[in-house]
Amino acid sequence: MSIDGATIITGASRGIGLAIARHLAAEGHEVIGISRSQPPDSDITTYCADLADPADTERVLAEIVGRHRVLRLVNNAGIFEPASLEAATAAQLEAMVAVNLRAPMQAMQAVVPAMRAAGFGRIVNIGSRAALGKEGRLIYGATKAALAGMTRTAALELAADGITVNCIAPGPIETELFASGNPPGSEARKRFTAGIPVGRVGAPEEIAFACACFLDARAGFITGQTLNVCGGMTIGSAPA
Ligand code: NAP
């Protein structure tokens, strides 16, 4: 099946973004990744850019929308650094806001004109369960809460033009980013996993599946929503 228009996925070089890219490519999407490094799959068209840099972000987005009719966007690229209230620094705040919030805003701004012209668009922002509060995630959680808020306002502003904007908030998903905060085999990881209601960490493909649903042309009545894909963690902990 061929899908109308192209689909941008930021951070498609590994982890959740790569799983989304593979899932969508298999569904017939023309996938365009943005990251600093190339993905392992040579058939994923990738534009290299540093989304931490606003000028480079603007450059790459202009290049892509100049060449492709982009009707879908997944703002997936994100960075995480642990920071408690007492240890958080202004530099960390700036760094995480840049990639987790400013770049998604720029990407949405870049794709909206073609979506409005088409009277159709699908945007998915990848947030985090940490938006609801998690120790050591002071800044990261705040950027993801802000992204969910930005999703809601964008959804309202774009709804009349057939453009939906939704947020997926993953719980713990087995990627490099997750492993950096929860080293394999560590006591912390064992304790943590025991508390997950479904009894395991999630797989990147499970986020890709949810993302594909929001991107579907048939999902036009779903907008402004945040879906927690978290193994039940946002409901409660597994019984002790
Ligand atoms: P990951 O394995 O660290 O991958 C992050 C992706 O973002 C990579 O493709 C990376 O590409 C790209 N990226 C990071 N900084 C970038 C920059 N400055 N410029 C361009 N690209 C950049 O992370 P992940 O676990 O797949 O996470 C994906 C998203 O899910 C993030 O938004 C994260 O916050 C969210 N999330 C993850 C989890 C989890 O448990 N894994 C839970 C909740 C939310 P390059 O390095 O090649 O540039």
- Is the beta carbon of 112 within 6 A of some atom in ligand 1? no
* pLDDT given at position 178: 87
% the chain with pLDDT above 70: 100
Distance, CA of 49 to CA of 107 (rounded, Å): 12
Atom 47 of ligand 1, residue of closest alpha carbon: 37
Residue 108 has pLDDT above 70, yes or no: yes
Q: For residue 116, how far is its CA from the centre of ligand 1 (angstroms)?
A: 28
Task: Kindly provide the residue ranges of all beta strands, DSSP E only, lying in 36-92, ordered along the sequence.
Answer: 45-48, 70-75
Cα within 13 Å of Cα(57), Cβ side: 22
> Residues 170-217: pLDDT tens digits?
999 999 888 887 888 999 899 889 999 999 999 999 999 999 999 999
Annotated catalytic residue: which of 72, 121, 126, 140?
140
Helix (H) or strand (E) run with residue 168 in it: strand 163-170
Q: For residue 47, how far is its CA from the centre of ligand 1 (angstroms)?
A: 16
> Residues 6-45: pLDDT tens digits?
999 999 999 999 999 999 999 999 999 999 999 999 889 9
Active site residue 47: no
Distance, CA of 142 to CA of 96 (rounded, Å): 9
* pLDDT given at position 177: 82
> Residues 76-92: pLDDT tens digits?
999 999 999 999 999 99
pTM for the predicted model, two decimal places: 0.98
Atom 1 of ligand 1, residue of closest alpha carbon: 177
- Is the beta carbon of 40 within 6 A of some atom in ligand 1? no
